[in-house]
Each structure stands twice: as structure tokens, then as C-alpha cells.
Amino acid sequence: MTPQGELPGRSIPYYLRSGEGERYLVGGFVACLMARGIDTDNLYEWMVLTGGKGALLPSHTHSQTHEVIFVLDGEIDLWLSGQHYRMIKGDFASIPPGTTHAFRMQSHHTQLMSMNSGHQMTALYKTLGKPYAGYVQPSDNISALDPAALKQAEKAADIHFDGKPLPEGNAQRVVNAQLPKSVVPYVLAAGEGDHYTIADQLFGILCDNATTNGKLLVVTCEGPAGPMIGKHFHMKHSETFFCLDGQLRMVSNQVVLDVYPGDIVTLPAGTIHAYQHLKPYTHHVGLLTPSIFELFFRSQAPSTQHVYPQQPTGGLNASRFAELDIVPLERPGPPPSPRH
């Protein structure tokens, strides 16, 4: 692992604490790059955007990058392919290549994550913004984005600004609860998605192979304090964990880390890892890319509930492990002997 607080510049396991990363002030928000293409073997990029009321990114499209957004704090308005949504913590949006979108922050402390396939978004924030030592916007006064910088960003990154105005009027609160079956833009309300349980943990799939063309599998997990899961690794896909609520303990090769809200842990393919929930309501989100591990979650017990179970509802279903990109290093002990 690299020293705390530093991006490694190559694809090795690392972690950053809340606020750490390469930061740029982009108009009225701070873009904190927590994973750049160079840190992920060009698989994905992970930004946390923090800003005040009125900070925005104007209407644009990406031609190759699949972006997903997950709100962390405050409210944002998202214009997505002709719709205008109001989003709060836990709300999610999937933005396939070619989709027109824009956002505007609506709260004094607004924060969202932007997770992107590929490696072309780092250049966007570098070009649009200025290096910034702070962690929150400098004041309520929003600097307009420089039109020349927008042009420059179009040359440097996978982005096209279309100059379309952002229609005002009543934004719809996000209410959708269903994943579509194909690569189309959509939103999900906080706590929605396709749910599965393992023991006392509730998993929620927010996007998958079908909705991202195999690029991004985003899964939330919530549960009470419990034991460490078994150590394992993956040969072909990378996993990145971000703590939303509570506290995780994570194993990453030889390192044991306590992970708090806002902290990120990257686990490139080959990293031995495991996690444990330490608080009564621990909630994290993982990005798995490419999204080949979907069947792992789909093999578990489906749940119609939106809260973690009070009693474990059955353990891990490992019956299809042979088909999966997983190498378990620890197995549970034998089941208790039958009584005689």
C-alpha cells in the first residue's frame, strides 16, 4: 500500500481517507479525484464532488464513458436525457455514453460521487479546474466556468458541452425502484435496486452487466456489526469499497484498515481481501469492474425488504462459485454434527 493520502500512480491496492485525493476547484465545487485512470489500469475513475448552492456542470455528453452518480449529502438537481430530477443521499443515476446530462448543487454542503468507466474524466477536472488545497468550496460565491476552459476540456477529455440551457421548473423527486434491462439512462431512489441477503447483510445492485454493457457493477451493502467475511481474491475484476455510514474493518493483503464514512479502499484484481461491519448500521458501496461478478449476488437469497434482516436469513450460497471469478482462501468450518 502507498502512504496514506497519496494516489499511487499505478494499479496497486491503496486507500484514502475522507477528503484525500487530487483536488481541483471547478467553478463552485471541489473535485476530489480518489481514483484516476493511472491508479486503476484505466478501468475506472472515482471522483467526489463537494460544493455549495448553485455549483454546476453544464449540459454535456460523454461519447465512451459510462458514468454513474451516487449522492452523499445535500440535494442536487440532475438533468438526465430530458428529465429533471431532485436527488438526495443514496439516490443513484446511471448515465450511459451519449446521454445528455448536467447537474446543479442545491445545498450549502452538497456532495456526490461520480464513478466512471475508463480513464478520460481525470483530464476533465484537471482542465476545467485549478489545483486546490482545500476540501470544501471557498465561499458561497460561485465562479462561472470559463468558456475557454470548456473548449479546452473537450479537447482533453471524453466530453462535449452542448450549450443547452438547464430548464427550470419543478424537479421530480427520484422514486424509481427498478433497474432496466438494457443500457439506458435511469435513476434509483435511495435504498432501491435489486436486493439479496447473505446472513444479516442486505445487498442492493444499482447497475449491472445489462445496464452498463459489462462495465460497472455497483452494489450497496448494509448490516449490523458482525464477523469478518472469509478472505478471498479475484483474478479478473477490481473492487473498490467506499464507506457511507458506520465503520468497516478491511483486510487488504497484509494490511488491516478501519474504514470510516468517506474513506475509499481499492482492491485491484489479485488483492487478498475481506471486510467486517463494526457498527450497528454499517453501509458501504462497492464498484466492481468489469462487472463479471454479478452472478455472485444474483445467486444469493432475493429479498423484497429494504432493511437488513434482524435474524440471519441463510448463509452464503456458494453453489456457483466454480463459474465465478473468486478464489476463497478461508472456508467456513464443517456444519455442526447431527444429534444422535
Q: Is 262 in the site for its own copies (CB under 8 A)?
A: yes
CA distances from 103 to 1, 36, 45, 110, 152 (A): 35, 21, 18, 11, 20
Q: Is 79 in the site for its own copies (CB under 8 A)?
A: no
| Joined grid coordinates for residue 58 | 453544464
Q: Which one of 10, 108, 236, 320 is in contact with its own copies (CB under 8 A)?
A: 108
Q: Which one of 107, 143, 152, 317 is in contact with its own copies (CB under 8 A)?
A: 107
Backbone phi and psi for residue 39, each to the nearest 5 degrees, phi listed first? -90, -5
Q: How far is the CB of 260 from its own copies (least distance, A)?
A: 6
* Binding piece for its own copies, criterion CB under 8 A, among 121-129, 150-158, 161-169, 301-309: 301-309
Q: Are strands 67-73 and 56-61 parallel, antiparallel or unpaired?
A: unpaired
- Binding letters toward its own copies, positions 193-232, x by CB under 8 A: -----------------------------x-x--------
| Joined grid coordinates for residue 145 | 466556468
DSSP 111-134: EEEEEEESS-SHHHHHHHSEE---
Q: How far is the CB of 36 from its own copies (least distance, A)?
A: 19
Burial 188-221 (b: 16+ CB within 10 A, else e): bbbbbbbbbbbbbbbbbbbbbbebbebbbbbbbb
What is the maximum alpha-carbon separation in the chain? 80
Q: Is 17 in the site for its own copies (CB under 8 A)?
A: yes
Q: Is 116 in the site for its own copies (CB under 8 A)?
A: no
Q: In 3D, which of 335, 230, 325, 323 has the Cα closest to residue 276?
A: 230
Q: How far is the CB of 69 from its own copies (least distance, A)?
A: 17
CA Rg value for the chain: 20
* Binding piece for its own copies, criterion CB under 8 A, among 113-121, 276-284, 286-294, 327-335: 276-284
User: Is residue 256 exposed (0-12), middle (13-18) or buried (19+ Cβ within 10 Å)?
Assistant: exposed
Q: How far apart are CA 60 and CA 62, in angstroms?
A: 7
Q: Which one of 59, 152, 247, 317 is in contact with its own copies (CB under 8 A)?
A: 247
Q: Is 53 in the site for its own copies (CB under 8 A)?
A: yes
Q: Is 52 in the site for its own copies (CB under 8 A)?
A: yes
Q: How far apart are CA 275 and CA 226, in angstroms?
A: 10
Q: Is 75 in the site for its own copies (CB under 8 A)?
A: yes
Q: Is 139 in the site for its own copies (CB under 8 A)?
A: yes
Q: How far is the CB of 220 from its own copies (least distance, A)?
A: 11
Q: How far is the CB of 107 from its own copies (least distance, A)?
A: 6
Q: In 3D, which of 201, 230, 256 has the Cα closest to residue 331?
A: 230
Q: Which one of 97, 261, 270, 328 is in contact with its own copies (CB under 8 A)?
A: 261
Query: By C-beta, is 17 or 249 nearer to its own copies?
Result: 17
Binding site for its own copies (CB under 8 A): 17-20, 50, 52-53, 73-75, 88-90, 107-109, 134-140, 189-192, 222, 224, 245-247, 260-262, 279-281, 283, 304-308, 310
